[in-house]
Amino acid sequence: MCGIVGYIGKEKTTPLLLQGLKRLEYRGYDSAGLALSINGSLTVLRQKGNLDQLEKIVDHDKLDSRLGIGHTRWATHGEPSKRNSHPHTDCSGKIAVVHNGIIENWHELRDELIDSGHEFTSETDTETLAHLVEANFNGDLKEAVKKALRRIKGSYAIAVISSEDPSKLIAARKDSPLVLGIAESGIFVASDIPALIDQTRKIVIIEDEELVEVAQDGYQITSGDDVLIKRDSIEVKWDIEAAEKGGFADFMLKEIYEQPSAIQDTLRGQLDEDGKVNFDDLLLDKEKIEDIDKIFIVACGTSLHAGMIAKLAIEKWAHISVEIDCSSEFRYREPVLSDKSLLIAITQSGETADTLAGIRKAKEKGAKIIAVTNVVGSSITREADGVVYTHAGPEIGVAATKTHVSQIAALILLSMFIARQKNGLDDSFFQKIAESLSKVPEKVDEILGKAETIKEWAKKYHDVYDFLFIGRGVGYPVAMEGALKLKEISYIHAEGYPAGEMKHGPIALINDGVPVLAIALKGKVFEKIVSNMQEAKSRGGSIIAITDSDDNQIRALTDDVFVIPESDEMSSAILSVIPLQLLSYFIAKERGCNVDQPRNLAKSVTVE
């Protein structure tokens, strides 16, 4: 997620903005910039790379400003570059905007603005907002911003300044965080509290669809329907480390709780209510899809488990044969590829060495390449024919959580896109999938609200030596992911198995007290997984179930059960993995492990 800092007051603006942006570096970014109001005009400074690069071009003696905005950007539209960095300005250079979030209808608005004479200089959705404010400006910046926001579909936290209305800073939010900081020297606006903690601990939280007008001597908050809002400030007593984690004990836990918004951002702008999927960077039309006779999926670790769910969805909906392989094996075998093959490469960082090697091998044989990644401008985006971005935002914890569920959501969208072009299923089918998928964020919220149940399980199971996860259908890759998470951060030996393989070896490991966690989801294999649970119970295993079926049969079999909300088959993979993330986290904490930096592991594996 990008970082926003703004200031209006008595002190020099530039050092305050830079200091605030430094406090947001933990969130990850690829470029940074400032817009400063100086002597009746705006000075804009932008650089690709970290804040050190921006500071090299800052001349503090010449930048005598008392009003400004700053931004650290995590690219979502347009590659990381100076021209795509924030702040963005209008045609005249008199209005500057910084923005977190995604504007869904930016293409439509951009075309409209170009037709009316506006000239664009970047590939971003944010620049559209700067020109939209310009188009509505008539001397009052607040009114111009208000009118512009009425045209916007999507999410935003914004800060706007203008050289023609230099006594105020306008900020607003929808589905993206924003706070005010009240200091003796002036008033700050920021996307997160850590940016302000060096200057003030007096914080005002801006709520959804509110707009705030900030001046040197005060501020005024109004709702979307222009009702004046009075809100008291709160006193923040966190230290800086706690502030960066949003009050959570660890980045991993914070990121687990960010998953509803991460999934929402993945879907935002890419899924219509009628089930149509829109990908700006896919570059794969109906004719090319109809020509595909086989799909290969390559990935590593957690990404591989997301790919396993994509295989099930594509084969079920599009009726195309899908072969899945871990990248480190794919690159060294001799897969049968042709110009009628499609390779889907999944990598959170976009820099995974084995996955990059795999796509290069596929390209040599003429295959088309689609990358699924979280990082705009990463190596894989330059080598693929088309890209599906997950838009999960930066993930600090080494063990993937929000990037994983965002990958599943993105891959479900990709599967829908391919199936619509290839299989000719009617619109009502896709509408049902879209409706189910759109409800996933609130259902994840519901699961997170019951985390205390999982916390109690951790006290019971944290000192075991072995853990077996089993599942069928989409439950199998979920079981694999659950076992991986437990291994990664608690160092307990765990295995994920297809439940039907129990009698082919793993059942020999079950004796009194060995935890066997089953992903028991409704569907054609539900009775089969229940039978496997009975087998494990008869050997003395402690049976745990993650299920969407709250019936007596399950409860009679289990020592512990967690019921997730019902959903469609593929979306249930997202819902059922959330309790497993929590279980791994709480067990690791009980064992005194460092959940954010587990031993021997790195966030991005850039070597073989």
**Catalytic residue IDs:** 2, 603
Q: To which residue do tokens 């687990």 refer? A: 256
Rounded to 5 degrees, what angle do the CA atoms 212, 217, 222 make? 20
Question: For residue 370, what are the β-bridge partners?
Answer: 344, 386
Give me Rg for the CA atoms of the chain: 25
Rounded to 5 degrees, what angle do the CA atoms 19, 265, 548 make? 125
DSSP 151-181: T--B-EEEEEEETTSTT-EEEEEESS--EEE
Query: For every residue of 511-550, which 3-state class applies, written as one string?
Result: CCCCEEEEEECCCCCHHHHHHHHHHHHHCCCEEEEEECCC
Q: Classify residue 226 as left (phi > 0), alpha (psi -120 to 50) or beta.
A: left
Alpha carbon distance 191, 186 (integer Å):
17
Quick one: CA dihedral 112, 172, 268, 399, positive or negative? Answer: positive
DSSP state letter for 603: S
Alpha carbon distance 99, 520 (integer Å):
42
Q: Are 430 and 416 in contact (CB under 8 A)?
A: yes
Q: What does each C-alpha distance from 399 to 75, 82, 135, 330, 546 come to in angstroms?
A: 22, 31, 45, 24, 21
Count of residues making up the chain: 608
Cβ partners under 8 Å of residue 220, min gap 6: 212, 213, 228
Edge-first strand order for the sheet with 294-299 is 322-326, 294-299, 341-347, 368-373, 386-389
Q: Are 430 and 424 in contact (CB under 8 A)?
A: no
Q: To which residue do tokens 């209305």 refer? A: 165
